[in-house]
Amino acid sequence: MKRTTLRRNGLRYARSLSGAHVFARQRVLLAWLLLCSLWGVAWAGDEVTETLAEVTVNGPSGAVLRVDGQEMGVLPLLDALRLPAGPHRFRLERGSQRAESDVLQLPGGRQAELNLTFSGRSLVAVLSITPAVLLWMTPEPDATTRRIWLQALSQAAKQEHAVLLSEERQTELRQKSAGLAGCIEAGRCARALFREGELAYVLVLQAKTSPLRLQLLDVRTRDIGADLRADCSRCSVAQQVAQAAKLVRQALGQIAMRARGQLSVTSTPDGAQVRLDGRVLGQTPLAVEAFVGSRKLELERAGYSPLALDVEIEPGKTATLQPVLSRHGQGTQLADAGGSRGRPLWRIVTGATLIGAGALLVGFGGSALAVNGTCQDLQGDPLTCSPYYQTTGVGSGLLAGGLSLAIGGAVLIALPPRRTAPTTQP
């Protein structure tokens, strides 16, 4: 009887344990499904962002704009339109004038400028992809003041065929790019700031300082493409805004004219931090786009001596650097990067050959001078001997030529190795 009771109690305990394990597995499964759902929502949110296009519409003032039959407002619009990527039709209505464009394909995740013009009963639409600009103000003003600046600078950017993003889009990009603040404020730009084609420039405005300062950060090079100042110490807010708008036009004009090349840095060992004119661009091996000109390159790696190089970046070409870092206390070797190489083998071989040939000619010249004026017939009477050897010219020539060859060979070997400049490849 006791044995039967024990078995029943054991079976109940085993069933309770089994039920607990099943319940635990169900909780784990539910948690996993919840995480997957949250991840799917976040992924879907990103996809929605990527499939939107931001369009600045220009057209006749006072005309009503419709997109796919839906009224969007009266031109000029204060903000850019955010439309789903894909085909759209644009229609303008002003008085008795009504015209519709052909189907236009809007690119996802990009900024575009659309110029609409009446032409009789038709509508001429010109769609172009424009550089997108993000505004970064230090210190950050309140929302009302920022909107005033944003409207004024947006009009200035539009005059240079660029688009200052809407406040909503700017907030999204600032949240997505965690390294943007470090790149702007400390020059730590070791990784790409945004996705390819998402943004062209970051407009860094210091409005509270004197003089007023505006910098234009180029996203592709992660470098400052324009740095302008204006004395506005006694300016009102309206005057400050107007002065900043003028600087925006100047900066966008300057950066559009700056030529670009490529910089490729491969160090031995790799993993060295690369600075270009003081800005951190990443670690070797590194290949980035860069503005042309004479640039200062610095390499740093723990346990190795820091290295500073001058590099010339040419338009449309790649400046290739392959430095060999040295440990602390050792010399530095460079390959194809302005460093010293050992004497090439061809110089040593050629120099030795010239020295040998010169010594041979010196021997012949000395022999010729030694027999000069002696009788050619060694068995004849020296008093009546004729003819005599006349080898002064030949001997002197051989002697001079041999000495020249020997000296040239010695100089060729003795010359120090030349320093090589960075190589450029088209």
pLDDT in tens, 168-222: 888 888 888 888 999 998 999 988 888 877 889 999 998 877 789 999 999 999 9
pLDDT in tens, 120-129: 788 888 887 7
**Which secondary structure element, helix H or strand E, spans residue 182, and what is its range?**
helix 180-186
The structure tokens listed for 198 are 């998402």
pLDDT-wise least confident of 23-27, 42-46, 325-329, 418-422: 42-46
pLDDT at 201: 94
Task: Tell me the average pLDDT of the chain.
Answer: 80
pLDDT in tens, 37-60: 444 434 444 443 457 888 888 889
Q: Span 349-368, mean pLDDT?
A: 79
pLDDT at 6: 43
pLDDT at 51: 78
pLDDT at 418: 59
> Please, what's the b/e burial string for 357-390 (b: 16 or more CB within 10 A of its CB; e: otherwise)?
bbeebbebbeebbeebeebeeeeeeeeeeeeebe
What's the whole-model pTM score? Answer: 0.59
CA 376 vs. chain centroid, Å, equals 81
pLDDT in tens, 337-355: 444 455 677 777 787 888 8
pLDDT at 58: 87
DSSP state of 38: H
Cα dist from 223 to 48, 187, 257, 275, 410, whole Å: 30, 9, 15, 11, 50
More confident residue, 373 or 237: 237
Confidence band of 26 (pLDDT split at 50, 70, 90):
low
Q: Which value, to the nearest 10 degrees, does the dihedral of the CA atoms of residues 172, 177, 183, 184 take?
A: 10
Nearest-Å Rg of the Cα atoms of the chain is 39
Among 316, 256, 110, which residue's Cα sits nearest to residue 194? 110
Dihedral sign for Cα atoms in the order 218, 192, 182, 307: negative
Non-local CB neighbours of 95 within 8 Å, separated by 6+ positions: none
pLDDT-wise least confident of 75-84, 95-104, 218-227, 328-337: 328-337
